[in-house]
């Protein structure tokens, strides 16, 4: 989780990613950010997030995103 928070923090240092629950709905994360996050997740975790998983519910919070990474690692 710390590594993921580091990735998110590097994009938006001003945002408290442990507290936010609607990162996409509130437009904190935009499409360019999402692509950067997916690229860094691939680099750090070795997990490729497919396009069908890019939906608000997977990117609205750091917790949801971490759960997605774990699920993709398991599959």
Applying CB under 8 A, which residues contact another protein? 31-32, 34-36, 38-40, 42-43, 48-52, 54-55, 74-75
Of 37, 24, 25, the closest CA to residue 66 belongs to 37
What string of H, E and C letters represents the secondary structure of 7-41? HHHHHCCCCCCCCCCCCCCCCCCCHHHHHHHHHHH
Tokens of 17: 């990613």
* Nearest distance in Å: CB 8, another protein: 14
Q: In this complex, which beta carbon is closest to another protein, that of residue 19 or of residue 32?
A: 32
Q: In this complex, which beta carbon is closest to another protein, that of residue 5 or of residue 47?
A: 47
Q: In this complex, which beta carbon is closest to another protein, that of residue 18 or of residue 55?
A: 55
* Nearest distance in Å: CB 32, another protein: 5
């Amino acid at each position: 989780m710390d590594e993921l928070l580091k990735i998110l923090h590097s994009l938006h240092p001003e945002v408290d990613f442990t507290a936010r629950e609607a990162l996409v709905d509130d437009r904190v994360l935009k499409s360019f950010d999402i692509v950067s996050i997916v690229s860094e997740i691939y680099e750090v975790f070795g997990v490729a997030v497919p396009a069908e998983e890019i939906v608000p519910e997977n990117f609205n919070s750091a917790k949801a995103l971490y759960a997605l990474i774990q699920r993709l690692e398991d599959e």
